Chain A
Amino acid sequence: MKISDKIIILLFIVLTSCTSTDSCRENTEVKMQIGFYTKTKNSTTGVYSKSSLNIDSIWANGLGVDSFYYKKKLSTKSINLPLKNKAEQTDYIIRFNNTTDTISVFYQNNDGYYLSLECGCVVAHTIDEVVTTGHFIDSLAIINREINNVNAENIQIYHF
């Protein structure tokens, strides 16, 4: 019975070391990440290259909301904006230093993007189209249409 004694001791250690974890440890925020870029022309080769653009101060305000989401955020290369969960269009007014643009995002919602029983669900979005005014923004690229709880850049805004 020596083998079974060993198994019992081993089991006792294994089973008593089990603990249940019951709290949410995942990111539950779903935000559209926008990065700012500029293109610079190399004077000798004539080739354009992309580089991050640091905005000195930025304001962002959802259209129809009284409060600013970003209020004079200083020296920033990207912003993260929450979209409406119950609509398929969200508009933000974004002020870059002294120039203001409006950005409209059209998307589809996935209500039941399940994380876990502890964290629940989030509403994920799939971007269809992004439209902006062209005061500060020169061009725009959608690089990742899926907006969920994974922190990833969705849109690149270019200012030359």
Chain B
Amino acid sequence: MQKTFRYIIFSLLFVLGCTQVNGQIKALQKDTVKVRFFNGIRLDVDLVPLASSFLSTHETYSYEVALQSDLKHKYFPVVEIGYGGADKISSSNISYKTDAVFGRVGLDFNIMKEKKSVKPTNNLFLAGIRVGFSSFKYNITDVSIVNDYWGENQTLNYENIPATRVWIEFVAGMRVEIFKNVFLGWTVKNKSTSSEDAAGKFKPWYIPGFGLNTGNANWEVNYCLGYKF
């Protein structure tokens, strides 16, 4: 239920973001300016962890910042760095713990059509791709194995299991300049990883930067506050 509440609140925030865009476009209909090659670097801070720390069950956490440069107001190479982890106790009382730094590199394209009669806005409608990477260690502890017939009980702990994961993300989002050089916006990410986990081998329950390792694609939403230098 808490998850659902979280998504409802974020969806409401998106709608707010959109009304901002409408206002901005009307305000910026003036004269035309030539587009330079380099148009500065924007630092985005993900606000979702601030909200989710009140809403979630604290099983997982993820914080990230992004640096995105603006080339020709069309290409937006991006570097994202974050820190994520999990501290989870499953229904069978098994603990999973990990925390690590993760990184992503990628490229966005501004897909907002610009009319010639209108001054190019600083607002962005972005679509792009990321390659994510995380090298981390995880613990799986308090694993209980019971053998009723032979009367055997074991509790096993597996600590510092190393893992390295690479994944691909398809992203879409928007940025709206709410004040001069201050941007607000959201990004939606669809993440998928190709690595298969062999039967019987340990696999991470949570991958920092990727999310839950369920074997399926993950969806993630970032709500960002940005400043353009």
Which chain A residues border B152 with CB–CB below 8 Å? Answer: 84-86
Choose from B18, B200, B202 the contact partner of A8 (Cβ within 8 Å).
B18
Which chain B residues border A23 with CB–CB below 8 Å? Answer: 91
A47 within 8 Å of B (CB atoms): no
Among the 9-residue stretches B46-54, B75-83, B143-151, the one with 4 or more Cβ atoms under 8 Å from chain A is: B143-151
Task: Check B91 against A24 for contact (C-beta < 8 Å).
Answer: yes
Among the 9-residue stretches A33-41, A95-103, A113-121, A152-160, the one with 4 or more Cβ atoms under 8 Å from chain B is: A113-121
B154 within 8 Å of A (CB atoms): yes
Size of the A side of the interface (Cβ < 8 Å), in residues, is: 41
Contact with A along B1-19 (1 / 0, CB 8 A): 0011001101100110010
Tell me the minimal C-beta distance from B20 to chain A in angstroms: 10
Choose from A5, A7, A14, A18 the contact partner of B172 (Cβ within 8 Å).
A7
Contacts A85-B154, A110-B200 given; does A15 touch B88 at CB 8 Å:
no
A-B pairs with CB below 8 Å: how many? 104
Task: Check A82 against B11 for contact (C-beta < 8 Å).
Answer: no
A112 and B198 CA atoms in complex are apart in Å by 13
For the residues of A in contact with B, the DSSP-based class is mixed
A114 and B145 CA atoms in complex are apart in Å by 11
Contacts A4-B18, A118-B91 given; does A62 touch B156 at CB 8 Å:
no
Choose from A11, A86, A111, A120 the contact partner of B94 (Cβ within 8 Å).
A120
Task: Check A118 against B92 for contact (C-beta < 8 Å).
Answer: yes
A53 within 8 Å of B (CB atoms): no
Contacts A12-B11, A111-B156, A119-B92 given; does A84 touch B200 at CB 8 Å:
no
Minimum CB distance partner of B204 in chain A: A117
Size of the B side of the interface (Cβ < 8 Å), in residues, is: 41
Task: Check A65 against B22 for contact (C-beta < 8 Å).
Answer: no
Task: Check A85 against B18 for contact (C-beta < 8 Å).
Answer: no
A37 and B80 CA atoms in complex are apart in Å by 63
A94 within 8 Å of B (CB atoms): no
A20 and B96 CA atoms in complex are apart in Å by 16
B188 within 8 Å of A (CB atoms): yes
A65 and B4 CA atoms in complex are apart in Å by 51
Choose from A110, A114, A118 the contact partner of B203 (Cβ within 8 Å).
A114
Which chain B residues border A148 with CB–CB below 8 Å? Answer: 199-200
Contacts A118-B91, A148-B200 given; does A112 touch B22 at CB 8 Å:
no
Task: Check B18 against A5 for contact (C-beta < 8 Å).
Answer: yes
Known contacts A3-B125, A82-B149; 9 additional CB pairs below 8 A are: A7-B188, A11-B221, A24-B92, A69-B149, A85-B154, A111-B145, A111-B154, A114-B140, A122-B145
A selection of 30 A-B contacts at a CB cut-off of 8 Å is A1-B18, A8-B14, A11-B188, A11-B221, A12-B11, A14-B219, A16-B8, A24-B92, A62-B149, A65-B149, A65-B151, A67-B149, A82-B150, A84-B152, A85-B147, A85-B150, A85-B152, A86-B154, A110-B200, A112-B143, A112-B156, A112-B158, A114-B140, A114-B202, A120-B94, A121-B143, A121-B145, A121-B156, A123-B145, A148-B199
Closest 6 CB pairs between A and B? A15-B7, A113-B200, A117-B90, A117-B205, A12-B11, A114-B202
